[in-house]
Structure 1
């Protein structure tokens, strides 16, 4: 009888993924044209090990203009050439893809497609939102019990579900309806769901996208705990201007031309990366300094409009309540025509609810909670939902998720000139004859980008150009009200964002602008700030820049 020998961990190759001298492509078709490959040069060496493995790379930050493509390579989206240039030494071939979990928060998918009005009606329908047996509760979403085609729940231990809820600070939300969560809460729920099968490797593109600083810190701390408590290796895709969490140990920088241009231990790579990105980050630093230097002074709501001046938009003693859950209470806000506002508040304080009241997407927006040009909006006053939408331009994550991927960049932009349709309707395309001098002027500011991408399908555009498309769609009709809800939140090319900000500041002087962003430098120049505190009394404050 041959004795059984148990190998020590040090004798086993604990490399989860190894890439060596590999090209990558979309299909298995043979090709010699470098244009058919994801990167023009091969990935010479890249490795991810199990955690706590003799200081081997296990916790990566990937950045650069081609970071998302590289994460696709790591997650198995692209085919390697030669075939063995990408291997998984520690994983069995039969279940290796079950051990790799990839989430991309730039792509609109799943719950992110819930339209605003549906989300607000969920509050009304679900009442207090505490329903432990509800199929669409947070707990059931994480376990897969809300999906009748899922067989996940049968093998999930209750103690592990509770551990995930604890890791992502979701215990107090486990019985709430999933669509009622704030952006940050939903982000944590999606991360928890992705871990239900205990993957060895967790890859996330833009995990902090659109989150306020507090929510960002909470998600980062949760991912650190995931790596420690679940022994999971983590790879995060971050923008070049994003702060790299301290707990990540290795950094890679990726471009289309060079592939993985530099990679290694964070302390070795960051000085090289700072030099590499000097020109790109200089724009960011100038922009950031300009944003941070802006100071605001508290003012009274009554001083916003001069005597005899009719506010463009006014909330007067407005209250919005879902059963026992107050969103606004005794809320007063005068908005002068042409003023530019930043709306501040942590996730869940009511920022998006407030905007949805103005856009008439909210079920309670017709219940005499606001006036437009002195006319109280209520049912039966002769103003329709489409009348409201004709005067509003909007760019938001919810609209982004609704854009048909097969529409071209120019078709989506021209949709902004179609009258008598909802802002969420992308079906119709206005003829070029509809272009006004104002519209031609704005489009002319982006001649370089339109010349290259006007006929590209929306799904093939970079996220920066997708955001630009939605922005131009919103401003092309010269709206009376412009709503920018995280409109620039994931633009990698900051100089394009700056050009958009210049339009808001210089070409839309008579337009009332309401902007939401969790990062200071993503906001165009504003005159005022509305801060929602989110406390029990639903208090708020108004201040003026200057």
Structure 2
């Protein structure tokens, strides 16, 4: 008796092993077997929910496994992977091919623009994002969502419009993802978080059978996360489409996730099954290692499992009346008023036509009412900048780094100088090259524009270059710093990890591997090093640690403040590193730090001053405050910043 069509698996893998290159080919890099003898089924329908999440630390292959599920990578034997349900009459013709039926939405910089399919042109330089809309390829968000992003579209043949997007479907998706007010904006104007919601919306509008979401909550502000999770839950409950998510071990899991795949660090399955069974097994393993009864598996490090299984809470909501005793609507009194101002914004308001994207508020001060953003950053200060997606955080970074054309017309001074000539000042105007030389910057925009053809060494050396593709100008001391950073972060950067015991510690890999060949986490580590290795006056970290697991992130933040002088021991305690010659030091009191993050654990512990921007166009002012300790160590401080109140 043949199984009913709705009981046939959408994805079936039976004892399949996967390779990036053909196992008999002479690949330039190692080509180990991935997910050996994998057996997995994603049912088209079942009596109980099957909502899967792939969990694993950096370099464990989360994205790789999702690519396997969508039909990518070589399968051995080829017949081990199939898509039986797509061959049934229950699936429309347009979805017979796995490439259409199984949609993938990732948020790394390999997505080819907003669409990830090359449908939206990516600019060649950062400032293009902020220019006036005047190119034919400056498609609006609505055009992007509807797929109207071809300059010369082909006429559709009869039967090809069975997947047409109805007005009702479009209205429902954009409302659910809070995109309605952005439909007429060019997609290049969207913030990082808005762009991620747009990618999910685009995928949903294709009405796929399966939607693979690679770390969907990464980089989203807390209010957006608490709103997106219920939306995904409603899709999961209707199985339209079936969802498969990925997450890092420290990421809270939505309550509606029912099944887990936990990956080892060698791209193999560590555990797979119901959420309860997998979490119970992992907790028993951790307890056994900690009590000495079990030997730790080097491919299943215990320190990555400490927080696994936390539940994504929806019990927080913005407070109607934030604690005014802890926050102010105007600038803070500096701890050291004698410290030199490095950034001065006095009444900044950024607008595109009638739309104000930053500074749309009025603040009462002792000197009278002031419009726009007032903000000063001095040497030695460590700032955190927070706010909902679309509140203007990325715009602030673009003003700081002089990528935004309106920098010239706004009341902004960097390093005490304006971008325009100041009569009688005796100072020449500040040039773009002056700013690039004195600000270190890591952000999703830098990630997107960094050439994939640069070597690992080339990415870090780019800190001494004037543009992404310019030749860097390094002296002997700078080269020593690059070598020191590559050795320090070899386990996180080098594919395959650090050299084995007894193996010569060569840095040849840094000249052999291209930026585009390494994992998303390793790319972020390289860009973080690039931002701070030159000891610039201002270090700007915009979501620099998103996509890293706890251990990698903690190593980066410790390196930011201590350089090579401190490290972590086996118990994750900070100890002296024992490095005889420290070539890279941490932040000094001559430098300022500006950090943007949506997760408190991704805020370096040295951050003390903070600014929280309001939801766009509410008229509420930015709020300022000073922390009494590291954000990650106290949930109260995080609630104070966001004005959250437990409900």
Structure 1 residue aligned with 2:190, among 165, 181, 187? Answer: 181
The total of aligned residue pairs comes to 516
Matches within 5 A, 1:172-211: 172-211=181-220
1:189 CA displacement: 1.6
Structure 2 residue aligned with 1:77, among 66, 72, 75? Answer: 72
Structure 2 residue aligned with 1:407, among 447, 450, 454? Answer: 454
Say if 1:305 and 1:336, in contact at 8 Å, map to a contact too. Answer: no
Structure 2 residue aligned with 1:314, among 322, 337, 344? Answer: 344
Match of 1:331 in 2: 373
1:399 CA displacement: 0.6
- 2:617 matches 1:512: no
Deviations 1:40-70 (A, max 9, x none): 6311x2110124x22263x210112222221
| Cα distance in structure 1, aligned partners of 2:461 and 2:383 | 27
SS state of the match for residue 91, structure 1?
helix
Match of 1:378 in 2: 420
- 2:619 matches 1:537: yes
| Cα distance in structure 1, aligned partners of 2:241 and 2:517 | 32
Match of 2:555 in 1: 499
1:495 CA displacement: 2.3
- 2:526 matches 1:526: no
SS state of the match for residue 393, structure 1?
strand
Q: 1:444 to 1:257 in 2, by over 3 A?
A: closer
Deviations 1:97-122 (A, max 9, x none): 32111222224323345554222224
Deviations 1:125-177 (A, max 9, x none): 79xxxxxx998222221121122466689541423333433443433433333
1:468 CA displacement: 1.4
SS state of the match for residue 375, structure 1?
coil
Matches within 5 A, 1:451-462: 451=506, 453-455=509-511, 456-462=513-519
1:275 CA displacement: 4.3
Matches within 5 A, 1:80-99: 80-92=75-87, 95-99=97-101
1:522 CA displacement: 0.7
Matches within 5 A, 1:189-268: 189-229=198-238, 231-255=240-264, 257=266, 259-268=268-277
1:505 CA displacement: 2.0
Deviations 1:221-258 (A, max 9, x none): 23223334562211111111111111222111123547
- TM-score, length basis structure 2: 0.72
Matches within 5 A, 1:25-424: 25-28=19-22, 30=24, 36-39=31-34, 41-43=36-38, 45-51=39-45, 53-55=46-48, 57=50, 59-64=51-56, 65-92=60-87, 95-112=97-114, 113-114=122-123, 116-122=126-132, 136-148=139-151, 154-155=161-162, 156-158=164-166, 159-229=168-238, 231-255=240-264, 257=266, 259-276=268-285, 279-281=302-304, 297-298=326-327, 301=331, 303-304=333-334, 306=336, 309-326=339-356, 327-328=358-359, 329-379=371-421, 381-418=428-465, 421-422=466-467
Q: Is 406-415 or 257-266 further displaced after alignment?
A: 257-266
- 2:8 matches 1:14: yes
Say if 1:23 and 1:37, in contact at 8 Å, map to a contact too. Answer: no
Say if 2:62 and 2:246, in contact at 8 Å, map to a contact too. Answer: yes
| Cα distance in structure 2, aligned partners of 1:134 and 1:470 | 29
| Cα distance in structure 2, aligned partners of 1:474 and 1:537 | 34
Match of 1:288 in 2: none
Match of 2:582 in 1: none
Q: 1:365 to 1:538 in 2, by over 3 A?
A: farther
What runs of 5+ residues in structure 2 fail to find an aligned partner? 89-95, 115-121, 287-300, 309-322, 360-370, 423-427, 495-505, 563-585, 629-647
| Cα distance in structure 2, aligned partners of 1:11 and 1:230 | 15
Instruction: Indicate the RMSD between aligned Cα atoms, in angstroms.
Output: 3.3
- 2:428 matches 1:428: no
- TM-score, length basis structure 1: 0.85
